[in-house]
Structure 1
Amino acid sequence: MQVHRGIPEHADTPAVLTIGNFDGVHRGHQALLSLLTGKARALGLPAVVLTFEPHPREYFSPADAPARLASLREKLLLLQSAGVDRTYICRFDARLASQSAQSFIDDTLVRGLGVRHLFIGDDFRFGARRQGSFAMLQEAGVTHGFGVESMPTLCVDDERVSSSAVRNALLEDDLGHAARLLGRPYSIAGRVSHGDKLGRQLGFPTANIQMKHRRPALTGVYVVSVEGLAEERILGVANIGVRPTATARGRARLEVHLFEWSQNCYGAHIRVHFLHKLRSEQKFDSLDALRTQIALDSEAARQWFADRPAVGD
């Protein structure tokens, strides 16, 4: 998949296009992307996604913006796996926020991306003060010769599938429901970096994934499986949070203690699948108390897998 930063002045080829933030690439997104790629293949044109960075809500109200379900890199990997040919990342800034809906159609959709057919979600609005609508796009399609289709809402168990619904499920520790909305267990991917080696000192070495500036959508101690280190997934137990026992002002970090694994994995890009929550993150009175609890967590995770042997296959 080709990835482009910004919108070209003139498209080099017509495209079948969809627009959105695609946070988490949940089942609703997947259905939309299936329509996109199917139409693109039928027309012999590239399947193109236009997305925004940062998320518009992070731009307008950073303090109140929702936690991201996926980093930009994770989103791109998921879009690629869905069959997208090109993704354009448009910087959401003051210029874009003030751009009129008509200018967005003329400059971005028609001239910059060469839209031949457009798929949008049923709640899509665009342009300054969200003045652009589905009806406006239909009118533009008649003028400029491109088709416009709206993706109807996808529901699971009578609930509208959305990124907000996934976040709520994770917040309520309902990993099963989150997985149903996503079509897969919730996961976080990242590169293994050097930490402070505290886990090693406690007898439970961990693979550490720095969350950078990201606020995680879930926190606590979880049963996990990890891909990216071997042909089969490696089982383990993970803590995601600020590690209150180790530091007074910690940045969110994901630490995974891997079972049956002793090799160096620094620099590896791994994906951690969250399968079951064991407990919330807590502060312990001493490192000895923390060591005891980690041992209990590890045993509980091993028992969880033992009770569900197919999960570890």
Structure 2
Amino acid sequence: MELLRGVHNLRSAAGAGCVATIGNFDGVHRGHQQILQRVQQQATTLGLRSLVMLFEPQPAEFFRPDQAPPRLMSLRDKARTLAAQGVDQLYCAGFDEAFRSQSAAAFVADLLVDGLGCRYLVVGDDFRFGAGREGDFAYLQRAGEQWGFGVEDTPTCELDGRRVSSTWVREALAAGDLALAERLLGRRYAISGRVRHGDKIGRTLGVPTANLLLRRPPALTGVYAVTVNGPGLKQHPGVASVGTRPTVDGRDWRLEVHLLDYQGDLYGRHLDVTFCHYLRPELKFDTLPALTAAMQQDFVHARAWFAAAGLSS
């Protein structure tokens, strides 16, 4: 998949045209996958490339940086997931004051037509664009007739009578309901990142952990049975704690993973941590020995879950 940035030279990168869709695609959940499937079908029919346009930062992060909901995935993970869905090109539009204030007409003419060379556009049923959210599906239909591109919206993707959305995924993760999150995503929830040097408190407690620094507050917190993939690792069982480590300092958000029955140096490796089973909430303990005892119990419970699930631990 080709990653495109910046409006300059965008048309030459887009080539002869594309079938496009636009949105945040946070989580790339089943609703997003339904849209992507339709994009792929049209791209094949028309002999064009498929393209996803998304925003960085996400609009809610631009308008309300202190109140924006947690991201379900980083830009890197989003790109990887979209590539796995078969998307040919990803255009990451910088969402700033200039972008926010452009009219719906300028968005269509300058970006969709002159920039992307859009020949067909697939959008979700709630898509709005332009200053003041003036553009909607009816506006796109009229613009398509004017500029010569096709437009279609996709029906709502529902599960148990409710619309599948990134908000619902966040609610499931916040409640520790990994089974529901998996149903909404079509896969287990995962976070990836590069292992960094920490303060090595876990090592002093006899429980070494791989420390992944989280740049934003996560969509879930607590202690989980996880599997880890990365260089030299495949579905390796472990126990992960996501939070601010209230017993130690309670400051930065971190994902710390202890790999069960593992010996080796993980520093600098990029790991994918998949959340399999919720064990308990993150707690503040009065002493480090109390924390260590709780961690040992976490390992016992995780091993029991892995055994019941038919996975080695």
TM-score range, shorter chain: over 0.9
| Conserved? CA contact 1:22–1:51, under 8 Å | yes
Report the equivalent of 2:133: 130
Which residue is equivalent to 1:3? 3
State the AA in 2 paired with 1:136. Y
C-alpha distance in structure 1 between counterparts of 2:10 and 2:96, whole Å: 21
Shift of 1:269: 1.0
Count of matched residue pairs = 310
- Of the three residues 148, 151, 158, the one matched with 1:148 is 151
| Cα distance in 2 for residues equivalent to 1:220 and 1:6 | 38
The residue that corresponds to 1:92 in the other structure is 95
Q: Deviations for 1:58-114, whole angstroms, at most 9, x for unmatched residues?
A: 111112110000011111111111111111111111111110000000000000000
Residue deviations 1:154-179, cap 9 Å, x none? 11122211100100111122110011
Q: CA deviation at 1:42?
A: 2.1
- Return the offset for 1:231: 5.7
Deviation at 1:7, TM superposition (A): 2.2
Deviations 1:177-214 (A, max 9, x none): 011000011110111111111111111111111112x1
**Structure-1 separation of matches of 2:10 and 2:22:** 18
Partner AA of 1:115 in structure 2: C
What's 2:180 paired with?
177
SS of equivalent to 1:112: coil
Q: Is 1:261 the counterpart of 2:262 in the alignment?
A: yes
Letter in 2 for 1:198: I
One-letter code aligned to 1:137: L
1:298 — aligned with what? 299
Amino acid at match of 2:3: V
- State the SS of the aligned residue for 1:140: helix
Q: Unmatched 5+ residue regions in structure 1?
A: none
2:238 aligned counterpart, secondary structure: strand
**1:7 partner letter:** V
Give the distance between the partners of 1:142 and 1:312, measured in 2 at CA. 58
State the one-letter code of the partner of 1:301: A
Query: For 2:222, which of 191, 216, 220 is the aligned residue?
Result: 220
Aligned residue for 2:35, secondary structure, equals: helix
Q: CA deviation at 1:257?
A: 0.4
What is the aligned partner in structure 2 of residue 240 from structure 1? 242
Q: Give the gaps of 5 or more residues in structure 2.
A: none
Cα distance between partner residues in 2 of 1:238 and 1:188: 11
Alignment-derived partner of residue 230 in structure 1: 232
Cα distance in 1 for residues equivalent to 2:182 and 2:7? 34
Q: Which of 68, 73, 76 is equivalent to 2:71?
A: 68
Contact 2:238 2:258 in 1 (8 A): yes
Q: Aligned to 1:235, what secondary structure does the other structure show?
A: strand
- Shift of the 283–231 alpha-carbon distance from structure 1 to 2, 3 Å rule, reads closer
Change (3 A) 1:10 1:166: closer
Cα contact 2:224–2:280 (8 A) shared by 1 = yes
In the alignment, the residues of structure 2 paired with residue 161 and residue 27 of structure 1 have an alpha-carbon distance, to the nearest angstrom, of: 7
TM-score, normalised by the number of residues in structure 1 = 0.96
Question: Structure 1 residues 141-150 or 35-44, which shifts more?
Answer: 35-44
TM-score calculated relative to the size of structure 2: 0.96
Taking the aligned partners of 1:168 and 1:190, their CA distance within structure 2 comes to: 23
Q: Is 1:7–1:88's contact at 8 Å kept on the other side of the alignment?
A: no
Counterpart secondary structure, 2:220: coil
> Equivalent residues in 2 for 1:179-194 (5 A)?
179-194=182-197
Q: Compute the RMSD of aligned alpha carbons.
A: 1.3
**Could you say if the C-alpha distance between residues 143 and 312 of structure 1 is closer, same or farther in structure 2, counting changes exceeding 3 Å?**
farther
SS at match of 2:180: helix
Change beyond 3 A, Cα 1:288–1:91 = same
Q: CA deviation at 1:10?
A: 5.5
Residues 241 and 255 in structure 2, CA contact (< 8 A), matched pair in contact too: yes
Give the Å deviation of 1:232: 2.9
Instruction: Letter of the 1:295 partner, please give it.
Output: Q
Q: Kindly indicate whether the alpha-carbon contact (under 8 Å) linking 1:8 and 1:113 is maintained by their aligned counterparts in 2.
A: no
**Offset at 1:9?**
5.3
Determine if contact 2:4/2:10 at 8 Å carries over to the other structure.
no
